Structure 1
Amino acid sequence: MAFGMKQTRWLYVSLSILSLCLAFTFTPVKASPPVTTPVLSASQPSNGLEQGRNLYQSGRFAEAVTAWQSAAQQYQNQGDRINEALSLSYLSLAQQELNQWEPAQQSIEQSIKTLQTAKPSGDAIIWAQILNTQANLQLRTGKAETAIATWQQAQKYYEQAGDNTGSLGSQINQAQALQSLGFYRRSRQQLEQLTQKMAAMPDSEVKVSGLRSLGLALHAIGDGKSQQVLKQSLATANTIQAKAQLSSILSSLGKNASDLQNPEVALNYFEDAEKAATNPNELLQACLARFKLLVDYDKLEYAIALAPQLQQQLGELQPSHNSLYAAINFAATINKLAKPNQVLPSKDLAQLMAATVKSAQQIQDAPAEAHALYQWAQLYSRNSQFREAKELADKSLNIARQIQADDIIAQSAWQVGKLYKQQGNKTQAISAYTEAVKALKSLRGDLVAVNPDVQFSFKESVEPVYREMVGLLLDEQPSQTELMQARELIESLQVAELDNFFREACLDKAQQIDKVDTTATVIYPIILPDRLATIISQSGKPLRYYVTRKSQAEIEQTLGNLLVAINPVSDSKDREKFTQQIYDWLIRPAEEDGAFKDTKTLVFVLDGKLRNIPMAALYDGKQYLIEKYAVALSPGLQLMAAHSFQQNKINAIVAGISESRSGFAALPAVESEVKKISQSVPSNLLLNQQFTSKALGDRVKSGNADIVHLATHGQFSSRLEDTYLLTWDGQVNVKELSELLKNRSGDSSKAIELLVLSACDTATGDDRAVLGLAGLAVKSGARSTIATLWPVKDKAAEILMTLFYEQLRQPKITKAEALRQAQINLIRQTDFRDPFFWSAFVLVGNWI
């Protein structure tokens, strides 16, 4: 009996790992799926358990259910309670794959009840494994908190049994469940501790699986170590010849490489994953990932050749959780194309979605049914079959409402809104768009956890919803109510973009700072397809609205021309022409209206490519904007803490790297800059070797600095992984930097007043790179941030920064005004009068 139990333990473990490998890519659950201990190869007795295992392994889940039901009945008749309990646990696992949630719940409850009546009652390892299945079910049915508690129980049993690997798997599961609840930081800390434990483990399938799951979890939270961990998982799998796991690891590496914009590397991984596949589902997933990559990178001739093969594979799979989502993703990838008929005839795709809807109904998978209806409606809409599209979109939306699936409500309500708009029904369109935006807001940080394989990308599925609704509200002559709605939407879009950038909901402040400073005017320029809309907001006054009738392409062309012309080697007449053009769009209409009569500071909430433009350098034909007003940028006023600066209590941490380091050029003037600043204000100075990430963190934590001034290389990008700062000991990712700066026990009253980054750069050619700057500005907890939009000559930076701190010490001066005075000094008193040298410096956040 003891030997038989050992065999069944390995069988259980093997099935759990199979579940992981099969379910990970296409599961709609808002969390990474669970990790469990894998099989260490053991021959199984020829019985219902083995039969079920073979069926499960080949993706035939319905037949596996039948086999395990039979095995459970057989063991019950024999009075073998432990094997009966295990059979019921496997049965629950297969039912979960078929989205049979109620039967799966009944099976696991019966498994636990059976094990409780067993004599002996089953040892710790059996309990641990059955609780693992229960927690898996709890997580997949949206009960993440309960799942964490169950995995904690399972962990105790694993530890009681001396099974360290099982304990480790349970802890990884807990960390992943934490993500589904939005606790990304806690999850990351737990996962990093687990990485260290796994480093000391001998090579085994446990380690392979754990590393792969950890790599995927790190990828989900934007941690750059994910690729390294996945490669370690692959190397370990190859060393011990864990063939059953190779395909899923290779697919994971391919998706990671694709996200890192390495398509050739990704393609090689996907091709290798196809060759390594040990079951039809793995083969399909790798093939589908390759197809999506080819479409995304416009290699249609190869995608066209692959489409019929995928269509055939999809038709051969039994209806299951994975096969449904594979079909949905196939349709979603094709629907993104300008000419989908090139890849697959519309009638074939429509038939596939009709079959997918039918299969989803058959296995009672309501989310999959709603997703399939949405893709089917997309197809009809593309073919101008608007009545049929509307009918399907309504069905999708109704199902999504019934199951309270915000991710599906967002996309289906958006689709319904677009169809109403196409019919000219503005009122109904706005109502549908409002429902879509409400759903997106409720998702917030969960957007990262919503399955990316159902095409829920920010750029394609979130941003357009906000923009299209703003366009609807601002049609013709908008009312004050519509203007307020549009302003709130633009603010919400800024929040959503930053949440998406950090892959978590991190912005919870809600103070309207414009009510604190009545001398400020807030300008919201919004780039729409056919116009540039500008909303002007002043405390206690009605909103003003101005519109410039220009196409988006023409607006963006002018912005691009200005960025080229800002370089000192360009023709100054071109620069004046373009800066004046943008001045005429954004400033002159309101100025001529007398809107800025009592204004001291202009605060811009910038949109799209406008973010890369230095507002201070806009030119009215005689003067730069900075010569007339102080200028600040904001990622949205609701994000800014309303708090004024106490100049008489300035205390700073000043750090810099002047020497060449990590392949970056030397910044000779940095040493002079940081020394002058540290003489100007009471400071802790960290120069070159002293400026490590640990030293900075220690100073922030132990000190009471109001200002943190960092003069070093860095880059802002729209990609989290490419936004960093250079310290002596290497690059510090923006997330790590924000956590270092926030390291004051979360006490907001001790927040840093001002963060200055005087030698950083925005990623060349990255239209959304300033997101990195705005993200750091908000996430660091600093009330204000000063940084540069492009690399500035370090001598100019030294002069400007020294002048800025001298001004900041003046009584009753705002941060924006101190920066303005320093910039005016460069224009009028130095050789650095060209806008290139002074307009790169921008103040983001609280300007007072």
Structure 2
Amino acid sequence: MQKLQLAKRVVKFAVNPVILFTLAIFLIIIPSTFAKPIQTNLPDEFHIQTNKPPATTSQQLLEQGEALYQAGRFTEAVTVLQQAVRISQAESNNLAQAAALTNLSLVYQQIGSWKKADATIDTSLNLLGWDEKNQTLNVNNPKSQLWEILAQTLNIQGELQLAQGQTDASVKTSQQAEQIWKKLGDNAGVTRSRIDQAQALRVSGFYRRSRDILQEVSEQLKAQPDSLLKVTALRSLGNVLQQLGEIESSQKILQQTLEIAQHLQLPLEISLTEFSLGNTARSLSNIKDAIIHYENAAKIAPNPLPKVQAQINQLSLLVEKEQITAAKTLIPIIQSQLASLPTNQAGIYARINFAQTLTKIAYKKDIAEILASSVQQAKIIGDERAESYALGSLGEVYEQNHQWQDAQDLTQQALFLAQKIDASDIAYRWEWQLGRLLKAQGNIPEAISAYDAAVARLQLLRSDLVAVDREVQFNFRDRIEPIYRQSVELLLQEKGQGKPDLDKARQRIEALQLAELDNFFREACLNNQFVALDNVVNRDNPDTAIFYPIILDKHLEIIVKLPNQPLIHKTFVVNRQEIEQVIIKMRETIVEPDANRQFQVLSQQLYEWLIKPVETDLKKRKVNTLVFIPDGLLRNIPMSALYDGKEYLVQKYSVAVTPGLQLFTPKPLAQHKLNALAGGLSQPPKNENFAPLPNVKVELQLIQRLGVSKITLLDGNFNSATLEETINAQPFRVVHLATHGQFSSKAKDTFILAADRRINVSELDSLLKSRGQKRAEPIELLVLSACETATGDNRAALGLAGVALRAGARSTLASLWQIGDNSTALFIDEFYRQLMTGKTTAEALRLAQLKLLSGSEYTRPRYWAPYVLVGNWL
């Protein structure tokens, strides 16, 4: 294999301020506005005359600097604005000097010279007499012109703070600017400051607060004439709606933005909006439209940078969809324009993004050269974050070429820089890369240490990753999940005293599952109101075993916890594809009327892997309840339907599942006087494509006949407002909802159906948990009797885990697929009958399933198996 060549030299690093600017790696985020340099409105005699030599006054130089800035000629703009600073200083014109310094800071931002940008804008504010602490001017009788320049300077300082990840400071600075604009009566200035606040809130992960501000601003601008400000506000709103998962609304707003930008004939704004529309279409998996928008964005872009950024997004989409021929046609077009990109942060990242996309299709031509050039450019402008990205990406190229030591050297340099500037959101990537390189060289202990560091950093970044790094949403399975799985694989390979560390391995896979739920909800979603499952089993449930199946690339690992016993570990050498194929086929055949035998064969294979290796131990310890923490696709199948060749698992054990190693403080369901809120929808709304559920009324009547005290909300009364009002009125222990619903791998597509609308999982969380502010009693049991997992979504059961977690109920009983109305009523009747006799929730579920299984009509697993108990099984 031909070795890549790179001229390397020892680099001495100096301490730099913390930089936490967030880079979107594959879908490049273009700033919503390009801030306009300040105009000082100096007296007429300072304005340029056509018959005089150009650029001799500070005002003329400011105008020339603005023109160069708008043209993207940043290096020349720096020279011109520095001259303006010197002239205004010599003239003792503080206003002109402050304006020139502020604009100079703006240009420094564009080329990534953060230290100079900070120092320059601080000098400008000092010249203006601004006391940041007291938010006052230290000058007598300040003129309105000074206030105007100050407000503009604060706007630009807020943008600088945001670009460096100082989001709280950015919000505060923008609020200060807003107050000054209000004092000046400048509504446009107020609006711009509010948009800046919304941008900072969006980057901080406060999407809803950002959306609320932008919706209010957009509403205020609606009656005003079309303007650049309106375009900026609307596009910002469209972008934040996209991040909130409100894709259709985002598309509508962005389309409106595009029409206004086209009417105003603003090429840059048209390009940026087409770019955003491309990202939105991509989110909707509308690949054809996404490519059209990216092509439009590139075609109309007035300068090379947004053009190339749009083309790189288009390329990454083509590569993602494996349209390699089309991708290879676009590659030389992008390559021919790289030299025209500015030597600034955005230009460097464009080059890096291009190179990283090329690595995905093993297109190695010129990649090392592009990245080596990016390293040097980052050094020139002093952008250590960009330098870290370029070094790490170059290290990945060397890794792919099996040049382990060169790759390791580059990765360690990248990691050093990332740690130095406290950029944890990229440092974990280089720690992961370092772990892979050490493993490839056979250094397992150090590889484990590198993976440990990456996982620890991910844990610290839980909220930031899902709230700030938007790309994690789209690339979780590529950029996060492998770190955990590869780490577990290394841990289980480790030999020696006390090795492998089984407890560490299962905690790591749990951390992955919690990260998946964080990713699902776009926020860190677990609190500390949980107890360890081991303690529950050892102290209170000596008849319970916990299973931790872990699906790795080439192994299936089983860790089993028996009461008061050391952990048991079993390994099967079987690749992930084979395991997942068995699971997918099981899920398909279990609901087919004539595929029962085929299902049993597949189910028995899974039984052989998961249960048989520890059958003897289960019998010896007299275990009667199995609790699973299912991994990956195992969430999509009911464990109760595993088949040993003669019997199903449910015929021998009660079965429950839980999302992690911790459980909401367990407590047996009340054995007398069950009180329930029962809601049902027998006739779905006409605008929803769902079949009627005529037996819902029968189902709810059966519960009442068993002696369960309940309040019923049926059909028209089962609406979102009444449900929220009722659930807060009384201390219900059980909430039973008999209505259509869907579990999906996307939170926005996980919902239950009420008479007035869909209630998605995030709203369900707010609705059910609002009672916590008024009532201390938790919901003991949430029953969802007509829900199902989304068809064709292999990770849909993640939505069930999300509902169970967000509902705040100790236990959630739901179905993985929709089944017959008659069998559901029969099942529910027997389930509550057993609960009323004092059975545990898991045992009541088992006996209800056996009631169907033992009859003549519902013996097949498709009828009795879909019911899954998540959480507390007591």
Same fold flag (TM > 0.5)? yes
2-side partners of 1:559 and 1:572: how far apart?
15
Contact preservation (8 Å) 1:30, 1:451: no
Partner of 2:6: none
Partner of 2:617: 593
Partner residue of 1:57 out of 63, 70, 83:
70
Q: Structure 1 residues 461 and 203, CA, compared in 2 at 3 Å: closer, same or farther? A: same
Partner residue, 1:673: 699
Among 478, 492, 509, which residue is 1:490 paired with? 509
Code of the residue aligned with 2:414 in structure 1: it is S
352-361 vs 503-512, which moves further: 503-512
- AA of the residue aligned to 2:74: F
Instruction: Please give the alpha-carbon distance, in whole angstroms, between the structure 1 residues aligned to 2:720 and 2:39.
Output: 46
Structure 2 counterpart of 1:418: 436
Shift of 1:181: 4.5
Cα shift readout 1:238-282 (whole Å, capped 9, x = no counterpart): 344443311111111111211221111101111111122122211
Partner of 1:694: 721
- Determine the C-alpha separation between the residues in 2 that align with 1:465 and 1:356: 27
Aligned counterpart in structure 2 of residue 48 of structure 1, from 30, 40, 61: 61
2:121 to 89, 92, 108: 108
Letter in 2 for 1:493: L
- Contact 2:743-2:799 within 8 A present in 1 as well: yes
Aligned match of 2:97:
84
Moved more, 128-137 or 293-302: 128-137
Matched, 1:261 2:262: no
Determine if the alignment matches structure 1 residue 446 to structure 2 residue 473: no
CA–CA separation in structure 2 for the residues paired with 1:211 and 1:593? 63
1:621-680 deviation digits (Å, cap 9, x = unpaired):
222111222111111022634444334464333222211432222222223223433555
Asked whether the equivalents of residues 38 and 206 of structure 1 are also in contact (C-alpha less than 8 Å), the reply is no
CA contact (8 A) 1:26 1:322 kept: no
Q: Secondary structure at the match of 1:464?
A: helix
Determine helix, strand or coil for the equivalent of 1:761.
strand
Structure-2 residue corresponding to 1:827: 853
Q: Partner of 2:481 in structure 1?
A: 463
Q: Which residue of 2 aligns with 1:716?
A: 743
Q: Supply the distance in 2 between the matched residues of 1:456 and 1:315 (Cα, whole angstroms).
A: 30
Deviation at 1:322, TM superposition (A): 0.2
The equivalent residue for 2:535 is 515
Whichever residue aligns with residue 65 of structure 1, its letter is V
Shift of 1:493: 0.2
Indicate how the Cα distance of structure 1 residues 41 and 791 shifts in structure 2: closer, same or farther if over 3 A, else same: farther
**Match of residue 71 from structure 1:** 84
Residue of 566, 569, 590 corresponding to 1:545: 569
Closer/same/farther in 2, CA of residues 377 and 128 from structure 1, 3 Å limit: same
- Gaps of at least 5 residues in structure 2 are 1-20, 49-59, 130-138
| Cα pair 1:507 1:779 within 8 Å, conserved | no
Match of 1:762 among 789, 801, 812: 789
8 Å CA contact 2:22, 2:469 repeated in 1: no
1:381 aligns with 2:399: yes
Q: Measure how far apart 1:80 and its partner are.
A: 4.2
> Cα 1:568–1:258, aligned 2, differ >3 Å: closer, same or farther?
closer
Quote how far apart the aligned CAs of 1:745 are.
Answer: 5.4
C-alpha contact (below 8 Å) 2:231/2:257 kept by paired residues: yes
Please point out which of 123, 130, 133 is paired with 2:156.
133
Q: Which amino acid aligns with 1:128?
A: A
Alpha-carbon distance in 1 for matches of 2:698, 2:146: 69
Residue pair 2:507, 2:661 contacting (<8 A) in 1 also: no
Cα RMSD after superposing both structures: 3.0
Compare 215-224 and 174-183 and name the one that shifted more: 174-183
2:523 counterpart of 1:504: yes
* Aligned amino acid, residue 674 of structure 1: L
Match of 1:300 among 308, 324, 349: 324
Q: Distance in 2 between matches of 1:639 and 1:179?
A: 33
| 1:730 aligned residue | 757
Residue type of the alignment partner of 1:296: E
Aligned to 2:357: 333
CA contact (8 A) 1:530 1:552 kept: yes
Corresponding position: 1:143 with 2:175: no
Cα drift, residue 188 of structure 1: 5.3
Q: Which structure 2 residues correspond to residues 811-822 of structure 1 after superposition, within 5 A?
A: 811=838, 813-822=839-848
CA contact (8 A) 1:327 1:352 kept: yes
Residue in 1 that maps onto 2:598: 574
Q: How does 1:146-157 map to 2 (within 5 A)?
A: 146-157=169-180
Task: Tell me if structure 1 keeps the 8 A contact 2:742–2:749.
Answer: yes
* Deviation larger for 377-386 or 355-364: 377-386
Contact 2:737–2:784, Cα closer than 8 Å, also in 1: yes
* 3-state SS, counterpart of residue 822 of structure 1: helix
Give the direction of change, closer, same or farther, for the CA distance of 1:73–1:807 in structure 2 (3 Å limit). Answer: farther
1:406 aligned to 394, 404, 424, which one? 424
Equivalent position SS for 1:541: coil
Is 1:324 aligned to 2:348, yes or no?
yes
- The AA in structure 2 aligned to 1:533 is E
Does structure 2 retain, via aligned residues, the 8 Å contact 1:58–1:280? no
Q: 1:354 aligns with which of 348, 361, 372?
A: 372
Residues in 2 aligned to 1:390 and 1:31: alpha-carbon distance in whole angstroms: 30
Aligned equivalents of 2:148, 2:823: Cα separation in 1: 67
Supply the distance in 1 between the matched residues of 2:667 and 2:171 (Cα, whole angstroms): 39
Closer/same/farther in 2, CA of residues 419 and 455 from structure 1, 3 Å limit:
farther
- Which residue in 2 is equivalent to 1:431? 449
Instruction: Assess, with a 3 A threshold, how the Cα gap between structure 1 residues 490 and 194 changes in structure 2: closer, same or farther.
Output: farther
Superposed counterparts of 1:231-242, under 5 Å = 231-242=255-266
Larger radius of gyration: 2
Structure-1-length-normalised TM-score: 0.90
34 and 483 in structure 1: CA distance in 2 versus 1, 3 angstrom threshold: same
Structure 1 residue runs of 5 or longer lacking an equivalent are 1-22
Aligned identity (percent) is 42
Give 1:573 deviation, angstroms. Answer: 1.9
Distance 1:703 1:237, change over 3 A: farther
- Residue identity in the other structure for 1:431: S
Mapped partners of 2:729, 2:151: distance in 1 = 44
Cα 1:38–1:71 change in 2 (3 A) is: closer
Q: Which amino acid aligns with 1:156?
A: Q
Partner of 1:393: 411
Question: Structure 1 608/26 Cα, relative in aligned 2: closer, same or farther at 3 Å?
Answer: closer
Who is 2:821 aligned against?
794
Secondary structure of the equivalent of 1:713?
A: strand
Q: Which of 223, 227, 230 in structure 1 is aligned with 2:246?
A: 223
Deviation at 1:125, TM superposition (A): 4.4
Q: Cα gap change, 1:143/1:112 in structure 2, threshold over 3 Å: closer, same or farther?
A: same
What is the distance in 1 between the residues matched to 2:367 and 2:611?
50
Structure 1, 404-413 or 801-810: larger mean CA deviation: 801-810
Instruction: Say whether the 8 Å CA contact 1:233–1:249 is kept in structure 2.
Output: yes
| Deviation at residue 233 of structure 1 after TM alignment | 2.2
Greater displacement, 755-764 / 508-517? 508-517
> By how many angstroms is 1:156 displaced?
1.9
Alignment partners' CA distance in 2, 1:456 and 1:800: 39
Mapped to 2, the partners of 1:572 and 1:367 lie a distance apart of: 57
- Shift in CA distance, 82/641, structure 1 to aligned 2, threshold 3 Å: farther
Counterpart residue identity of residue 107, structure 1 = T
Q: How much does 1:828 deviate?
A: 1.7
Between the aligned partners of 1:271 and 1:671, the Cα distance in structure 2 is 55
Letter paired with 1:741? L
Question: For 1:127-184, what per-residue CA distance to the aligned partner results, in whole angstroms no more than 9, with x for missing partners?
Answer: 3322221222222323222222222222222333334454344344434434554555
1:282 pairs with one of 306, 317, 320: 306
Aligned pair partner of 2:108 in 92, 95, 120: 95
Shift of 1:456: 8.3
2-side partners of 1:647 and 1:189: how far apart?
46
The alpha-carbon distance between structure 1 residues 175 and 43, as it changes in their structure 2 partners (threshold 3 A), is closer
- TM-score, scaled to structure 2: 0.88
Specify whether residues 555 and 356 from structure 1 end up closer, same or farther in structure 2 by C-alpha distance, changes over 3 A only.
same
Query: Alignment partner for residue 653 of structure 1, among 674, 677, 695?
Result: 677
Q: Write the deviation string for residues 511-563 of structure 1: whole angstroms up to 9, x where unpaired.
A: 21341242321101111122211000234321101112222222222222212
